[in-house]
Structure 1
Amino acid sequence: MHHAPAALAADGPDQAVIGAASGLLGQYRSAPGEAFLASPTRTLLTSGVHARVPQDARPLPVRVAETLAAAGRSGIERPLVVGAVAFDRESRVELAVPERVRSAGALRDDPLIALPAPPAEQVDWRIRPVPEPQVYGAGVAAAVERLRGGELSKVVLARTLELSAAEPFDLPAILQRLARRDPGGYTFAVPAGGGRTLVGASPELLVSRRGTAVLANPLAGSVPRSADLGEDVRRAAALLESPKDLHEHAVVVDAIREALAPYCRTLEVPERPTLVRTAAMWHLATTVSGELADPSLSALELACALHPTPAVCGTPTDVAREVIGEVEPFDRGLYTGMVGWGDAAGDGEWVVTIRCAEADERTLRVYAGAGVVDRSDPAAELAETSAKFRTFLDAAGVSR
């Protein structure tokens, strides 16, 4: 692995230094308090914990702003908050101001990211699905009945795989493989509390803010990729015309528009979605862009106004949350929350926490979900979650 000396010293994004971004990726060690974040705009590696964002009854953006302000007063230059927020953001936040932040340009712009990742270890993983596949399918079928009864128009139902190994495994190597497989996405490894790490590669930007420029990139409606080029192209074309997927996508885009409109002077929402591909999936995507009416509004405040979108919860939100609580036999924790960074000026990038796992030395809990609408087929949704698992399972060297 190439470690560029410039990456060691860089404290601001340096687009020009070849190897700077991939060098930061190579230096991630999964040490306590260490975090790695890569996006299409920058790569961050942090170390040490200067201050943690407290867990109390005040609104999250208030707690974050006060933590950043205190860090600035105590001598931290250009403080950032980095980490993850749970699906139920009132229940859990894992956000901290690091002692040191090293940054570089985007991974996708670093030619060295094309070098192969370390090969997957030979780990004898024991795998336990929670719930069992047939139980998940029955949950989807029950939800479809409720959807057809008009209680709600969409709900996202998830399942997990619990992977355990006899020996500690190499988490930084898994991060390497995730990042090198989809360098244009959002790759992360951040502390998840209790000695665990939240690690993954999400294709979905919840919201970013740079000055008054706002960007959201909702994804909803997806199909697995194919190794056969002709079949892969056919699947992509079919996804763009699928009434079920286009409806599912429109529900999410409408919710994003409604949530952002009150805060924006201008808001551009394309009429039709485009395609985004990862190594495992095709997704319908829409890039929503706007300009803030009030420049003091932070990226995190916008993220809290958007979260949870119908892409990870459903609509109406309250009913969808209820159904999720009844059907899913586990606590989502940080899965389908948001992960990212924010600064004291209000700029930041917050990503939807999908294609991820919570990890400790010997276990991985991998998550995947599917959007269920009244036309959903339980077998198809089960297949979709299996395909979404592949992003992480391939990186962990799980062949099934």
Structure 2
Amino acid sequence: MAILQEKSVNKMADLYNNGDSFLGFPTKHILAKGKEVELHTEEQEGKSFSERVDLLWQKCPRTYGHHDLMIAAFPFDQKDVATLFIPKEVMLEKSLTSTRYQEGNRLPFPNKVNFHPQPQEYMMMVEKAVARIKNAELKKVVLGRLMQIEFSKNVNIRYVLQNLLADNEDKFNFAVHLSDEKNTLIGSSPELLIKKEGGKVITNPLAGSRPRMANEEDDKRMAQELSCSEKDLYEHRLVVEAIERNLKPYCRTLTVPARPSVISTKTMWHLSTKIEGELYDEGVSSVQLAESIHPTPAICGTPAVEAFQLLNELEPYNRHYFTGMIGYSKRNGDGEWAISIRCAELSQRKMKLFAGAGIVAQSVPQEECDETAAKLKTMLSALGIE
């Protein structure tokens, strides 16, 4: 695996070509070209995420020192196929600023737009979920919907990636070429699932949201409203409690703030809790830690089994990579994984976008539908669609 010379993130994005994979995380940027070794569909059957990673390393026994890493996009449902590989060539760089791609006419015009389900159908899904929650079958479920766009010509992924980096430079940006497909998973996630470095572990769940507003006073009001919302604080607490419960067996210490903070992206306000821990065993891998809490109530619900069953019953599609986990891991297990949200699957002229909302007993269908629309704006803005 060759290590290319370090360059600025703009140059790294310029060097991105279809078929490459790019991770633009807050403290690290990775451009991967080619695949030294990858795990095929038949090799993944019946294996957990961490078992798949172990098998990948076994297929590539030689070591590359501290640059030795693998890249993966894992699905929402562990039974589905993942994309994981060790690149042939890697360019590494610390986080740097970027600028939007200026020649907007290079991004094609949408010919056709469909929602699946349509807004009215989605609101009916929310009503059904609220009824089940009030019937004490579960406490929370996260319901998503798809936006499907067909363009007049092929979309150049590089331009979309540059816009995502410029708009969301402190978030988890990615464009990963999916194995056994011609598709690329591209997006900008605000949510860190797990970062593990030596004996330290960090997770930063988000749950509870409001859209950003153009007017500054209205925008501040939205943030203040979110910070005091009983419904959103309850929804957030369910996520934090589940993560704390599942991480505790691995941690000597675990620091969990008493109240969430409010953070922002270009399009949304979110309730956020940064949880930090010290591991009993530095040998536990980032993927093991990630799969111990995945899927969190932030993207599935709680209790997990009941929520998973309900969303499979109500959502008229397979999420596959949407709300899965995306990131990298070194051979020693250190790594960083974000939740695959604010993202899309792109295949030449076709793009499929995903957005979801957490449903609890107090949820209002129209508000939840509006929330999904606001979350879609991250990708739409990168496409030059406002």
Query: Which TM bucket (shorter chain)?
Result: over 0.9
CA–CA separation in structure 1 for the residues paired with 2:275 and 2:259: 11
Q: Is the 8 A contact 1:65 1:344 kept in 2?
A: no
What does 1:1-400 correspond to in 2, within 5 Å?
8-10=4-6, 20-30=8-18, 32=19, 34-53=20-39, 54-73=43-62, 76-77=64-65, 78-106=67-95, 110-111=96-97, 113=98, 115-120=99-104, 121-193=107-179, 194-399=181-386
* Runs of 4 or more above 3 Å deviation: 75-78
State the Cα distance separating 1:62 from its structure 2 match: 2.3
Q: Name the TM-score, length of structure 1 as normaliser.
A: 0.91
State the Cα distance separating 1:172 from its structure 2 match: 1.1
Q: Spell out, residue by residue over 1:64-93, the C-alpha distance to the aligned partner (whole angstroms, 9 max, x if none).
A: 1232244242x6554311020000022111
Q: Is the 8 A contact 2:148 2:352 kept in 1?
A: yes
Q: Spell out, residue by residue over 1:340-388, the C-alpha distance to the aligned partner (whole angstroms, 9 max, x if none).
A: 0011111000100000000100100000000000000000000000000
Amino acid at match of 2:159: A
Q: Spell out, residue by residue over 1:281-329, the C-alpha distance to the aligned partner (whole angstroms, 9 max, x if none).
A: 0000000000110111000000010100000000011111111111111
Q: CA RMSD in A?
A: 1.4
State the Cα distance separating 1:192 from its structure 2 match: 2.0
CA–CA separation in structure 1 for the residues paired with 2:191 and 2:198: 21
Amino acid at match of 2:198: G
Q: Spell out, residue by residue over 1:223-274, the C-alpha distance to the aligned partner (whole angstroms, 9 max, x if none).
A: 0000111111111011000000000000000011001100001100000001
Q: Is the 8 A contact 1:71 1:79 kept in 2?
A: no
Q: Which runs of 5+ in 1 are unaligned?
A: 1-6, 11-18
CA–CA separation in structure 1 for the residues paired with 2:172 and 2:49: 23
- Cα distance change of structure 1 residues 343 and 8 upon mapping to structure 2, 3 Å threshold: closer
CA–CA separation in structure 2 for the residues paired with 1:397 and 1:21: 21
Amino acid at match of 1:24: M
Q: Secondary structure at the match of 1:87?
A: coil
Percent sequence identity is 38
Q: Size of the alignment, in residue pairs?
A: 377
Q: Name the TM-score, length of structure 2 as normaliser.
A: 0.95
Q: Is the 8 A contact 2:108 2:152 kept in 1?
A: no
State the Cα distance separating 1:21 from its structure 2 match: 2.5
CA–CA separation in structure 2 for the residues paired with 1:45 and 1:303: 23
CA–CA separation in structure 1 for the residues paired with 2:372 and 2:217: 23
CA–CA separation in structure 2 for the residues paired with 1:317 and 1:60: 18
Partner residue of 1:13? none
State the Cα distance separating 1:8 from its structure 2 match: 4.7
Q: Secondary structure at the match of 1:125?
A: strand
CA–CA separation in structure 2 for the residues paired with 1:247 and 1:195: 41
Partner residue of 1:3? none
State the Cα distance separating 1:57 from its structure 2 match: 2.1
CA–CA separation in structure 2 for the residues paired with 1:175 and 1:350: 19
